[in-house]
């Protein structure tokens, strides 16, 4: 679904991504890993078109998108949840969600789809509250909800569990798993709340959301993702199925 080949990116003179390659197959939940400062966020912003790449190709569903604007990429079906959430603290929850619609004016979607509220009931309860009054976990749900309003085919999340309470972390994990995986393919012991389960299975059947996420918490990454790609100093250095992520790689590339 997403094919990145030989991408090079610079901030001014500073060469940040080096001949980077990454393939995210349709239906996958891919975790991009690596220590702080290796270029994970830079890669996600390059995929979204928020920063330009110097060379290489980014292809989404067989279309070259490397020079498309961010709105065009959103219209094609890429949803983005930025690191640090970037919700608008003075706008209400509803206004924040509607900003998600504006990310792709040509999409034809005029209204926040009901399933967003079914997945995150707290957003419905807090519709008229200001974004800044929400807890960290609620803000993260809002940021994910905002990306889901356009029914993305590929959902990109940058450190969705950063600075969030453990109980909300596992709830967010459940939502990502359900958005990504078809019914009956969840890991053993996984059973989300019934109403959330229904809403997500519906979206899942309609959309089949492919996921690319950055995550530093290893147990969370192992639980939600089925593939990994590790970056070091702007390069992709190891990748494979999550079951192949071994202690050597963890020690060499991930532990601080």
| Six token digits for residue 130 | 């200001």
Q: Does 11 bind ligand ADP (CB under 6 A)?
A: yes
Per DSSP, the chain holds a count of helices (H) and strands (E) of 10, 10
Residue 38 binding partner per list Mg ion, ligand ADP, none, with a CB distance cut-off of 5 to 8 Å that depends on partner kind: ligand ADP
Per the CB < 8 A criterion, the answer to whether 41 and 158 are in contact is: yes
Is 161 near ligand ADP (CB under 6 A)?
no
Whether the CA torsion 197, 207, 242, 235 is positive or negative: it is negative
Nearer to Mg ion, 41 or 96 (CB): 41
193 phi/psi in degrees, rounded to 5: -55, 140
With contacts defined by CB under 5 A, how many residues of the chain interact with Mg ion?
A: 3
Q: Find out whether 172 and 192 touch, Cβ atoms under 8 Å.
A: no
In DSSP notation, 110-155 reads -S--HHHHHH-HHHHHTTTSBGGGS-HHHHHHHHHHHHHTT--SEE
Rule CB under 5 A: choose which of 16, 41, 139, 140 binds Mg ion. Answer: 41
d(CA 71, CA 87): 18
Among 13, 36, 167, 189, binds ligand ADP (CB under 6 A): 36
Q: Give the range of 19-27, 37-45, 109-117, 242-250 binding ligand ADP by CB under 6 A.
A: 37-45
Q: Which residue is nearest to Mg ion (CB)?
A: 41
Site for ligand ADP (CB under 6 A): which residue of 41, 141, 161, 210? 41
CA nearest neighbour of 152 among 75, 223, 90: 75
Among the residue ranges 35-43, 54-62, 90-98, 191-199, the one whose residues contact ligand ADP (CB under 6 A):
35-43
Q: Of ligand ADP, Mg ion, none, which one does residue 216 interact with (CB within 5 to 8 Å by kind)?
A: none
Question: Is residue 39 a contact point for ligand ADP (CB under 6 A)?
Answer: yes
CB closer to ligand ADP, 215 vs 226: 215
Residues in contact with 25: Cβ distance below 8 Å, sequence separation at least 6, in sequence order: 1, 210, 227
Interface region with ligand ADP, contact rule CB under 6 A, candidates 20-28, 30-38, 111-119, 202-210: 30-38
- Residues in contact with ligand ADP by CB under 6 A are 11, 14, 16, 34, 36-42
């Amino acid at each position: 679904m997403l094919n990145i080949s030989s991408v090079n990116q610079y901030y001014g003179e500073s060469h940040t991504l080096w001949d980077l390659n990454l393939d995210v197959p349709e239906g996958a939940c891919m975790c991009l890993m690596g220590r702080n400062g290796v270029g994970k966020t830079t890669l996600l912003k390059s995929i979204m078109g928020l920063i330009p790449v110097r060379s290489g190709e980014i292809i989404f569903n067989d279309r070259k998108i490397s020079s498309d604007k961010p709105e065009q990429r959103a219209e094609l079906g890429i949803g983005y949840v930025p690191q640090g959430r970037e919700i608008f603290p003075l706008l209400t929850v509803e206004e924040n969600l509607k900003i998600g619609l504006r990310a792709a004016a040509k999409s034809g979607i005029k209204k926040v789809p009901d399933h967003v509220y079914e997945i995150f009931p707290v957003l419905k309860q807090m519709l008229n509250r200001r974004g800044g009054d929400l807890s960290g976990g609620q803000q993260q749900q809002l940021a994910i909800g905002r990306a889901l309003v356009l029914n993305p085919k590929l959902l990109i999340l940058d450190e969705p569990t950063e600075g969030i309470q453990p109980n909300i972390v596992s709830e967010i994990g459940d939502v990502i798993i359900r958005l990504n995986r078809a019914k009956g393919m969840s890991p053993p012991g996984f059973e989300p709340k019934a109403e959330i389960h229904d809403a997500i299975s519906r979206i899942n059947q309609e959309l089949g959301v492919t996921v690319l996420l950055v995550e530093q918490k290893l147990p969370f990454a192992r639980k939600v993702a089925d593939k990994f790609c590790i970056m070091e100093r702007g390069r992709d250095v190891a990748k494979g199925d999550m079951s192949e992520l071994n202690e050597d790689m963890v020690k060499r590339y991930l532990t601080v």
